[in-house]
Structure 1
């Protein structure tokens, strides 16, 4: 066998290999725009059972399973940190039903699929059916990041995945206790007491851990540099103590702890959450690689055609019936119900917990307990591949994407930003202009541009703006400090490469220079707010120019040497702004976004009207042109902001 031929790796080398494969798979998936989970499973299978290069049990030793348990605990805790009750809004009813009706109903339908589809005994079906309540936050989060769903269906899937994960483990514990009663001398009363005590204690431990952390942080009992280490230590203690009281109840404890902290409005919450997100990316990568690499093909060989029947029954019957019944008579549109009903990927929690209970059932003499682990892996692999490639297209077909292509979020309503928004709108690029001064949004509103009146960093903005529909942020207010704050705060969510701001007025002076970690990227030749708006007052206009085989970048530049190139829109309709060191795509079909001086714009307009078939600038009609060049009393230079701008918080 390949495993026997390959030499054992040292634990350090094995862990380094897991990290390289996991993070490398995520990076490659980002480059190829593919579901990362699919590549991670493939990498783990290739490194493990296919080539035999890596065997977790052989190379890392007996601690690899406890490591997976701890990693799952951290993943669920981080998921709990994202469950702020304010984000529920109109999805509250749906989430409640998916938890209180969907979880028990999912347990029943999953058990029936296992009994009649996979042919397992009632004991194994009841235990494994409880575990199958989970839909996998480790899978849902990357899928939502890629698919860019609108807010409500995304919230439904996210809350269901995180809240039902510990419930699935507890359902399996409940079913296992019933098997214990039937196969041992333990009584029903003893089992009920053990289960009730374990769940109650686990809930109290999780709540106490969450409230203890928030109390200590609010009263500065923990220094800033120790907040993350203390959080990790408390998390591990809570998980371990709860598991000592009742097996697998630690998952419930850490989830409750995360939810308590998420809704405590801690000043340091964002820093904690972002660090946990980074840690979770590493842990998800590692766990998927470990589980895939530890797969035993001989165990899969024990499965027959009924495994495929089981997967089909879960995907096409059990999941849809569960969701549609749970959401029946709600106010949710039928399209959103259908999307949630046919989206149920399983993740690492299912595989990790299923393997544990499969071994325990074997110990009690339930022979088909050995099939639970392989069936869990088959279900995870099938649903990950299926939903990884179909969620985005399905959501697009149902009209449930936040945006067809990623749009632009413009912070600051003024003469220049309103003109840019109008040009992008003509190019069918989604754009939203935000400003806490209603008067600054008048021009954009008059042009039919979507606007948000309020601070983009406020909680109201988080609830009302479909953030998933935007890829690029441009901070264009007359306040350099605020632009820098917005760019710095939003960079972790959008990616620093997608955050831009107008150049600071005093950036050239050493005493005003800021560290590279603060602020966004400059564009338009590092033009400042005042420079860009002065150009507008001098008659400069925005143009969208389509490149062709005959009309390329060289011809465009020769025709308009004074033009300011702002960015380009690729053939998929996605916009990219450019700094001085950015590469500009010049393929046929790419559209350039630029500003033209009045003399060049007038000459091009005349040429285009004389020969409408001529390639080049897409000339706005007279109405659009008038809107793009007419002075606006509310957007003079410098732009005043009565009363000043309050910083968030």
Structure 2
């Protein structure tokens, strides 16, 4: 028992540790988890999943994949389909059959598998694992339409690939009894329809119960989790491998019901998915058997190359032929197709069943599936970001700043950031207040940032920082509280810790980080504008020079924002003072004379003010 607990803890440390290292370094998290799992598993022998978990390994992995697929389904809003020009429909309805046929040809003529095994394995290969695609997209700044296409394809095709393998296996199994492919296909289609209806029915039941108070708040997340597991197991009891379809339909259905209650549990589901993805991939790589990998042959390498450079691109190009998707997006989607745990899990399951039917390629399939997973994760994990940049499909993802409030100071801040080359969008509900920003060619969003429809009109994936600077501090707090779970508590900022006449202030647990180190708010900021405080920038050459140029700044002013060479920005706050490095740029806000005396480059367009006459 102590050993089992130690293994679980080690898997958690390795998986989450790899995610943290990936966040700090920008390396693909999936690739790091694959490598660390290999080191802990077959290389050093610290973890041996088949021994440590025994017969529980397969059901644990299956349940984890079910929860991951359900959470992925919750992120699929049908309104996204209006913006992908029919690409998802084509990749499912055309891409799956085309990929199945081309994959079967490659399996037979290049990998040397017999036809029945080649057809079964090619059916599994139509998947592009969401357990891999979603983490890659989370770390990469890909344009919104391309991101939606890859995400939808991965989640929808995952259960379809399993069903393709089931169809092939059922035909092989029933061949002795005279059953035809049509009979097996009709039988499986009926089971798939039942599974889909089961998932949709459970979603409707929960959608009816949640908003009516039949489930208390503290039980919403547990009930949802248990419902997912029960739906998965129940559907598999009807027909093996249809559970993935049931939970996917369940997730998509609930995502499009407009349930306010889902917002309360969605963060819990996302956190659980990160843990499960980490654990599953460590188990996946630790389960690799070096003896099986030694069966890897030269022709298998050629097969993987054919899969990467022929089968996948041809599938995407044929599927999107005649569509309005630009060629650069087709090239990108045609390259990015990493496989994950579902491929290995289903292949391992059917490898055993094929042995029972007298086909001797089962062991070969296991080695081949591991090789495909490792090759695609490494190839696509390390090339997705460079290829997106080369094809011009990157968004400002994570480096842009969203300024809420087209006040005089907010517009000046957005203009200063724009002049420094930082992606910035300023949002306000009033087109009149946005007029000044538009006159400076600053990107504007006219609308209520808290409205549900905002996600359709504004790609929130591009923003790494939010600054709420309206003249209503309570509204600033509400905005920060709303976006903190998505952007991170350390990346939402607002005008500072201002108190009312009675000494009361809004709770720190709801507020964003205070923009100014001294924590002053709306009224004090208006006073400083009248005193001719302005924005200025300084490119840091060495720490000593930077210290000299900031030494004469007033205590309540000075450095405001650090813009790293990578383009990412961080505010100076009362709790955090980022240290500039050589080549970084610092944006300051201070009195004009102090900035000019210290040699800062002024960025503010407003003329000098006379404090005695300005109102």
- Same-fold status (TM-score > 0.5): yes
**Quick one: which of 213, 216, 225 aligns to 1:223?**
216
**Quick one: which of 456, 462, 474 aligns to 1:463?**
456
2:559 — aligned with what?
565
Give 1:445 deviation, angstroms: 1.1
2:125 — aligned with what?
132
- Superposition map of 1:269-284 within 5 A: 269-284=262-277
Distance 1:255 1:22, change over 3 A: same
What root-mean-square deviation, in Å, do the aligned CA atoms of Structure 1 and Structure 2 show? 2.1
In the alignment, structure 1 segments of 5+ residues that lack a partner are: 1-7, 605-615, 638-649
CA distance in 1, matches of 2:571, 2:372: 42
CA distance in 1, matches of 2:23, 2:186: 49
Partner secondary structure for residue 367 of structure 1 = coil
CA distance in 1, matches of 2:596, 2:42: 68
Partner secondary structure for residue 467 of structure 2 = strand
Check conservation: 1:552, 1:586, Cα contact below 8 A.
Answer: no
Matched, 1:522 2:514: yes
2:289 — aligned with what?
296
**Quick one: which of 32, 35, 47 aligns to 2:40?**
47
Give 1:186 deviation, angstroms: 4.8
Give 1:511 deviation, angstroms: 4.8
Check conservation: 2:466, 2:492, Cα contact below 8 A.
Answer: yes
Distance 1:444 1:226, change over 3 A: same
Give 1:561 deviation, angstroms: 4.2
- Superposition map of 1:502-541 within 5 A: 502-506=495-499, 511-514=504-507, 516-524=508-516, 525-541=518-534
- Superposition map of 1:181-580 within 5 A: 181-183=174-176, 186=179, 188=181, 191-403=184-396, 406-506=399-499, 511-514=504-507, 516-524=508-516, 525-549=518-542, 552-561=545-554, 563-580=557-574
**Quick one: which of 600, 608, 613 aligns to 1:617?**
600
**Quick one: which of 109, 112, 122 aligns to 1:116?**
109
In the alignment, structure 2 segments of 5+ residues that lack a partner are: none
Distance 1:509 1:51, change over 3 A: farther
Check conservation: 1:41, 1:289, Cα contact below 8 A.
Answer: yes
**Quick one: which of 37, 48, 64 aligns to 2:57?**
64
Give 1:534 deviation, angstroms: 2.6
Q: Is 85-94 or 151-160 further displaced after alignment?
A: 85-94
Give 1:222 deviation, angstroms: 1.2
Matched residue count = 610
Check conservation: 2:91, 2:316, Cα contact below 8 A.
Answer: yes
Matched, 1:586 2:569: no
**Quick one: which of 133, 147, 150 aligns to 2:143?**
150
Check conservation: 2:129, 2:339, Cα contact below 8 A.
Answer: yes
Q: Is 517-526 or 282-291 further displaced after alignment?
A: 517-526
Give 1:559 deviation, angstroms: 4.5
Distance 1:565 1:204, change over 3 A: same
Give 1:360 deviation, angstroms: 1.0
Distance 1:508 1:300, change over 3 A: farther
Give 1:185 deviation, angstroms: 5.5
1:597 — aligned with what?
591
CA distance in 1, matches of 2:608, 2:209: 56
TM-score, length basis structure 2: 0.95
CA distance in 2, matches of 1:497, 1:427: 22
Partner secondary structure for residue 252 of structure 2 = helix
CA distance in 1, matches of 2:21, 2:381: 15
Distance 1:399 1:628, change over 3 A: farther
Kindly provide the CA deviation profile for residues 194-237 of structure 1, in whole angstroms up to 9, marking residues without a partner as x.
31331121111111111111011122221111111111111111
Distance 1:398 1:630, change over 3 A: farther
Check conservation: 2:543, 2:581, Cα contact below 8 A.
Answer: no
Kindly provide the CA deviation profile for residues 46-81 of structure 1, in whole angstroms up to 9, marking residues without a partner as x.
111111111112112211110000000000000100
Q: Is 294-303 or 66-75 further displaced after alignment?
A: 294-303
CA distance in 1, matches of 2:567, 2:501: 35
Q: Is 188-197 or 71-80 further displaced after alignment?
A: 188-197
Check conservation: 2:90, 2:320, Cα contact below 8 A.
Answer: yes
TM-score, length basis structure 1: 0.90
Distance 1:134 1:542, change over 3 A: same
CA distance in 1, matches of 2:609, 2:236: 68
CA distance in 2, matches of 1:405, 1:512: 30
Check conservation: 1:407, 1:469, Cα contact below 8 A.
Answer: yes
Partner secondary structure for residue 589 of structure 2 = strand
Distance 1:405 1:202, change over 3 A: closer
Check conservation: 2:474, 2:506, Cα contact below 8 A.
Answer: no
Give 1:396 deviation, angstroms: 0.7
Distance 1:277 1:325, change over 3 A: same
Partner secondary structure for residue 330 of structure 1 = coil
Check conservation: 2:467, 2:493, Cα contact below 8 A.
Answer: yes
CA distance in 2, matches of 1:550, 1:99: 56
CA distance in 1, matches of 2:29, 2:62: 21
Partner secondary structure for residue 63 of structure 1 = helix
Distance 1:504 1:550, change over 3 A: closer
Give 1:491 deviation, angstroms: 0.9
CA distance in 2, matches of 1:405, 1:588: 22
Distance 1:370 1:224, change over 3 A: same
